Amino acid sequence: MDVGIEEPRALYQKRIPIVTRSVKGRFRNFKWGVMVLAYAVFFGLPWLPWTRHGVASQAVMFDLGGRRFFIFDLVMYPQNVFWLALLLFIAATFLFFATSLIGRAFCGYFCFQTLWTDIFIWIEKLVQGERPARIRLQRQPWDREKILKLGVTHALWLLISFWTGMTFMLYYGYAPDLLVRFFTGHAAYAAYVTVFALTATTYAAAGLMREQICAYVCPYGRFQSVMYDPETLAVAYDARRGDGSMGRAAPRAELKIHAIRQQKGYGDCIDCGFCVQVCPAGIDIRDGLQYRCISCGLCIDACNNIMDSVGYPRGLIRYDSEANLALPQPAKPHIHWKRLKVVGYFVALGVMTGALVYSIATRTNFEHDVQQIRQPLYVVLSNGDIRNRYQIRLTNKSGADMEYRITTQGLPPGALDLGEMQTVKVHSGNSVIVQASIKLTPQQVGKYPRFDFVITPLSAPEDKVVEQVNFYSRTDEQ
Amino acid sequence: MSQEKLQSHTVQTTGHAWDGDLQEYNNPIPNWWLYAFYISVLAAIAYWFTYPAWPVGKGFTTGFDHITYVNDKGVTKTTHWNTRALFMKETNEAVAAQKPYFDKVAATPFEQIAKDPELNSFVVSAGKQLFSDNCAACHQQGGGGKMGFAPNLTDDDWLYGGHYANIQQTITNGRHGYMPPFAEVLTDAQITQLADYVLSLSHVAVNPDSARAGDALFHSETAACYYCHGADAKGRQVLGSANLTDSIWLWANVPGAGTIPLKEAAVKNVIRQGLNKGVMPSWKDRLSPEQIKLLAVYVHELGGGK
Ligand code: SF4
Ligand code: SF4
């Protein structure tokens, strides 16, 4: 290899603008589908009403002030934050799982950067025309047409960016009310900062930086690439078929017929460059798998269209695995799931999803926490009795005010003292601390090393919980 | 294939060569990266002007930004931005946020507070903080007290009374417990008898004859213990004299002493030397009436109430 015999080059590089050609095909359709769904969810969700008593009737709302998240009929409190941890674990494992099977599937179809860049490119095309027209416009001097077209493009980009930031903010309050407050200047300072920051970053990331985010900023792509195996499916150019022994060639008159081409040793690639022109990452997939490729499949669509038009078989660029491509006779590409790693990810995914579903399904609508007071661990009373104290925290997560009764189980009658609180009333969404003390005579002490607290919501006795605790005392009195 | 590709693409290097052929690849980073660096330099300069930064002679550049807060004397102050002033300002805000709760505690009768779970929860959390900051130095974190030094607040014995009003009074004005030394008036034998009597009240198996003699002495004019501790030896809360008949000891570590002679010695020591250390300072100059009221509820609850 002949490297390094060159003039030094600048340390910084100007971005070479990528002007993509639009394309039609299976992967493009799939991308549209994902996009419509994702945008419908993101932009529509804050406006979805939901009947809920006492609080705003919004299906999904992140109530930071009240420290709870409303997600349809599920209300999340800080105590439930481990659901979030589980969810993140599941998401990460799912990513690993999908990546080892079909490569960077996330990047090309589901990533926010991809989705927003896609819509921005679509607008660009809508206003300025197809690739050749856009390239012409770029070269054109700054005349009326250029100013107008670029102005409209950027204005539309900014509008979408603004609405993106706005929508994000609307999740943190009651949307209709928040919207009015925002435009009348009565929203919180943080709301304006959030909207401004998201507008600016969306505009910069999807409009100006695009593939540079994937190449230089995103850490996700980096670690996804290292999870590839030889069996992983990835967008690949079949070099053997495309290049043949003589290389690529345009379908000149004498090289049009597939059989003749093959006979002469020319590959199927007609060197039309379509696959390069449609690539949002600005790469040539025919150079082999590259770290910039986001696996969007658009080059597959482009090449399949070309193959159709010249009447050669499809699939010169396709989802295939390195291992399969290296075979003398490549088989039909398929997903290789029978691998220890993949099965391992799948099992982890199953276990964690099960745990999350179980935990959510069996949630009670109140949270309890019983703690023994350890300073001091026990107290000797004037008549020699021993007292232990416990702090019980109750959080009412149901939508209504609730009353609870605290009793004990496995203790002689009269041992429990709750002060003035016969029943404990807790307003919806609030927490209270109850101090409970247990008093035992020196003779009783040794017989009750542990006992249970029973907390019963009066309106739903079937939800009662039992919590076992210890009773401490001096050993010589036991 | 990639082999063949690489050959047609020469790789950029920085142009340096060591040892004849050792070279360094150049992967240029994008221009905006450079601009981002310039922008952060500009931001640093803006920061320098906005906030206190450089020492100049005996002073320093104070920046443009100002901060206004109310100091502990209630005077509103405006100064150049600094973290100390910011802390004061945030403290002001935190105090203002707590005020409605303290006001509610101040306006609610004691029994009512204990019955209201949500108000009581505030008392527990705010009380814990106040207690740690002010009371824990003597009464220990958690209120367990220290034998011979500060009473245990978590038991059911109250030297000066365990009702809310008593506790509030104790915190507000402080207390000063005093017991004269009896070494000057009594013989050692008499002191032993008194100690045995006091121990017998708490069911310690001492010499009954000695205890009987002590009983007589206790109620006689010679020792006159009953003046303060009462004829039934149960103490008098107006004076803060201890109840000698219960199992709780503050000044003599009777439960901690292993043998009866040691228990005897501990009690004798108190009788002989008297006490002039049961001093609880007054908190009215340091804590506000609302804070004291809240602490009273908290302490009352520590001891399970009375
Ligand atoms: S090479 Fe193909 S799959 Fe990869 S980013 Fe470009 S168009 Fe998408
Ligand atoms: S689109 Fe297909 S035929 Fe055209 S250059 Fe790319 S690989 Fe070759």
Q: What is the pLDDT of residues B280-293, one digit of tens each?
A: 999 999 999 999 99
Residues B147 and B203 in one domain: no
Domain boundary among A267, A293, A325: A325
**B99 inside domain:** no
Residue B278 parent element (H or E): strand B275-280
Per-residue pLDDT of A217-228, as tens digits, reads 898 888 887 888
Give the distance (Å) from ligand 1 centre to CA of residue A282: 8
Per-residue pLDDT of A453-467, as tens digits, reads 999 999 888 888 999
**A174 inside domain:** yes
Reduced to 3 states (helix: H, G, I; strand: E, B; else coil), residue B114 is helix
- Looking at residue A74, its pLDDT comes to 85
Residues B132 and B210 in one domain: no
Residues B295 and B254 in one domain: no
Residues A223 and A248 in one domain: no
Q: Are B181 and A415 in contact (CB under 8 A)?
A: no
Sorting pLDDT into bands at 50, 70 and 90, what band is A9?
Answer: low
**A19 inside domain:** no
Token pair 């009195």: residue: A477
Per-residue pLDDT of B25-34, as tens digits, reads 877 788 888 9
Residues B271 and B188 in one domain: yes
Give the distance (Å) from ligand 2 centre to CA of residue A226: 27
Instruction: Please state the pTM of the whole predicted model.
Output: 0.73
**A150 inside domain:** yes
Tokens representing residue B44 in the block: 């640093």
Q: Greater confidence, A51 or A117?
A: A117
The residue range of the domain holding B257 is 175-280
The residue range of the domain holding A401 is 366-477
Does the pLDDT value for residue B208 go beyond 90? yes
Cis peptide before A376 (omega within 30 of 0): yes
Which residues from A are below 8 Å from B121, CB to CB?
431-433
The strands making up A402-409's β-sheet, listed across from edge to edge, are A424-426, A402-409, A450-457, A465-470
Residues B151 and B195 in one domain: no
Which of B17, B29, B156 is the closest to A381 by Cβ?
Answer: B156
Closest CA to ligand 1's atom 2: A299
Residues A262 and A219 in one domain: no
**B14 inside domain:** yes
Residue type, A382: S
- Looking at residue A285, its pLDDT comes to 94
CB atoms within 10 A of CB B186: 18
- What pairs with residue A52 in β-bridges? none
Q: How many domains does chain A divide into?
A: 3
Closest CA to ligand 1's atom 4: A293
Q: Per the CB < 8 Å rule, is A5 touching B111?
A: no
Residues A69 and A190 in one domain: yes
Residues B27 and B115 in one domain: no
Domain boundary among B37, B64, B91: B64
Per-residue pLDDT of B264-280, as tens digits, reads 999 999 999 999 888 99
Contacts of A244 (CB under 8 A, 6+ apart): A261, A262, A265, A266, A267, A268
Residues B179 and B275 in one domain: yes
- Looking at residue B268, its pLDDT comes to 95
- Looking at residue B1, its pLDDT comes to 36
Q: What is the largest CA-CA distance in chain A?
A: 113
| Lowest pLDDT segment from A361-370, B94-103, B150-159 | A361-370
What is the mean predicted confidence (pLDDT) over B219-231? Answer: 92
Q: Are A179 and A170 in contact (CB under 8 A)?
A: yes
Which residues from B are below 8 Å from A14, CB to CB?
30-31
- Looking at residue A199, its pLDDT comes to 97
Does the pLDDT value for residue A477 go beyond 70? no
Does the pLDDT value for residue B131 go beyond 60? yes
The 3 state secondary structure assigned to B222-271 is CCCCHHHHCCCCCCCCCCCCCCCCCCCCCCCCCCCCCCHHHHHHHHHHHH
Residues B25 and B144 in one domain: no
Does the pLDDT value for residue A374 go beyond 90? no
Per-residue pLDDT of A386-427, as tens digits, reads 999 999 999 888 778 889 999 999 899 888 888 777 789 998
Residues B140 and B203 in one domain: no
Residues A217 and A84 in one domain: yes
- Is the CB of A369 within 6 Å of ligand 2? no
Sorting pLDDT into bands at 50, 70 and 90, what band is A355?
Answer: very high
Phi then psi for A165, rounded to 5 degrees?
Answer: -60, -40
Distance, in Å, from the CA atom of B109 to the CA atom of B124, rounded to the nearest integer, reads: 16
- Looking at residue A476, its pLDDT comes to 52
Q: B301 — contact with chain A (CB < 8 Å)?
A: yes
Average pLDDT, chain A: 90
What is the mean predicted confidence (pLDDT) over A106-131? Answer: 95
CB contacts < 8 A (A, B): 135
Distance, in Å, from the CA atom of A111 to the CA atom of B128, rounded to the nearest integer, reads: 48
- Looking at residue A317, its pLDDT comes to 95
Q: Are A442 and A385 in contact (CB under 8 A)?
A: yes
Between residues 319 and 348 of chain A, which touch chain B (CB distance below 8 Å)?
A: none
Pairing state of beta strands A386-396 and B59-60?
A: unpaired
Residues B181 and B170 in one domain: no
The CATH number covering residue B228 comes to: 1.10.760.10
What is the mean predicted confidence (pLDDT) over B294-298? Answer: 94
Per-residue pLDDT of A82-102, as tens digits, reads 899 999 999 999 999 999 999
Residues A128 and A36 in one domain: yes
Per-residue pLDDT of A265-297, as tens digits, reads 999 999 999 999 999 999 999 999 888 899 999
Per-residue pLDDT of A315-339, as tens digits, reads 999 999 999 999 988 888 888 888 8
Distance, in Å, from the CA atom of A394 to the CA atom of A398, rounded to the nearest integer, reads: 12
Residues A276 and A417 in one domain: no
**B74 inside domain:** no
Does the pLDDT value for residue A2 go beyond 60? no
**B198 inside domain:** yes
* N-to-C CA span, chain B: 90
Residues A35 and A171 in one domain: yes
Reduced to 3 states (helix: H, G, I; strand: E, B; else coil), residue B70 is strand
- Looking at residue A171, its pLDDT comes to 95
Domain boundary among A268, A297, A325: A325
Residues B160 and B292 in one domain: yes
Q: A426 — contact with chain B (CB < 8 Å)?
A: yes
- What pairs with residue A244 in β-bridges? A266
Tokens representing residue A332 in the block: 């039909």
- Looking at residue B304, its pLDDT comes to 72
Pocket test residue of A243, A258, A266, A270 for ligand 2, highest count of atoms within 8 A of CB: A270
Phi then psi for A368, rounded to 5 degrees?
Answer: -130, 155
**A32 inside domain:** yes
What is the mean predicted confidence (pLDDT) over B294-304? Answer: 90
**B156 inside domain:** yes
**B264 inside domain:** yes
Does the pLDDT value for residue A172 go beyond 90? yes
Does the pLDDT value for residue B3 go beyond 70? no
Residues B287 and B156 in one domain: yes
**B84 inside domain:** no
- What pairs with residue B29 in β-bridges? A12
Per-residue pLDDT of A195-240, as tens digits, reads 999 999 999 999 999 999 998 889 888 888 788 888 999 999 999 9
Residues A223 and A247 in one domain: no
Give the distance (Å) from ligand 1 centre to CA of residue A294: 6
Distance, in Å, from the CA atom of A269 to the CA atom of A239, rounded to the nearest integer, reads: 9
Residues A290 and A421 in one domain: no
- Looking at residue B10, its pLDDT comes to 60
Buried b / exposed e along B217-226 (16+ C-beta atoms within 10 A): bbeeeebebe
Which residues from B are below 8 Å from A212, CB to CB?
30, 32
**B190 inside domain:** yes
Q: Per the CB < 8 Å rule, is B247 touching A216?
A: no
Distance, in Å, from the CA atom of B60 to the CA atom of B53, rounded to the nearest integer, reads: 7
**A356 inside domain:** no
Residues A187 and A244 in one domain: no
Q: How many domains does chain B divide into?
A: 3
Reduced to 3 states (helix: H, G, I; strand: E, B; else coil), residue A347 is helix
Domain boundary among A201, A227, A253: A227
**ipTM score here?**
0.78
Phi then psi for B13, rounded to 5 degrees?
Answer: -125, 170
Residues A204 and A243 in one domain: no
What is the mean predicted confidence (pLDDT) over A149-169? Answer: 97
- Distance from the A364 Cα atom to the nearest Cα atom in chain B, whole angstroms: 21
What percentage of residues in chain A have a pLDDT greater than 70? 97
Which residues from B are below 8 Å from A424, CB to CB?
117
- Looking at residue A300, its pLDDT comes to 96
User: Looking at chain B, which residue has its C-alpha nearest residue A10?
Assistant: B28
Sorting pLDDT into bands at 50, 70 and 90, what band is A475?
Answer: low
Distance, in Å, from the CA atom of B273 to the CA atom of B294, rounded to the nearest integer, reads: 37
**A10 inside domain:** no
Q: Are B158 and B166 in contact (CB under 8 A)?
A: yes
Reduced to 3 states (helix: H, G, I; strand: E, B; else coil), residue B277 is strand
Residues A90 and A197 in one domain: yes
Q: Are A92 and A86 in contact (CB under 8 A)?
A: no
Does the pLDDT value for residue A5 go beyond 90? no
- Looking at residue B7, its pLDDT comes to 39
What is the mean predicted confidence (pLDDT) over B104-114? Answer: 91
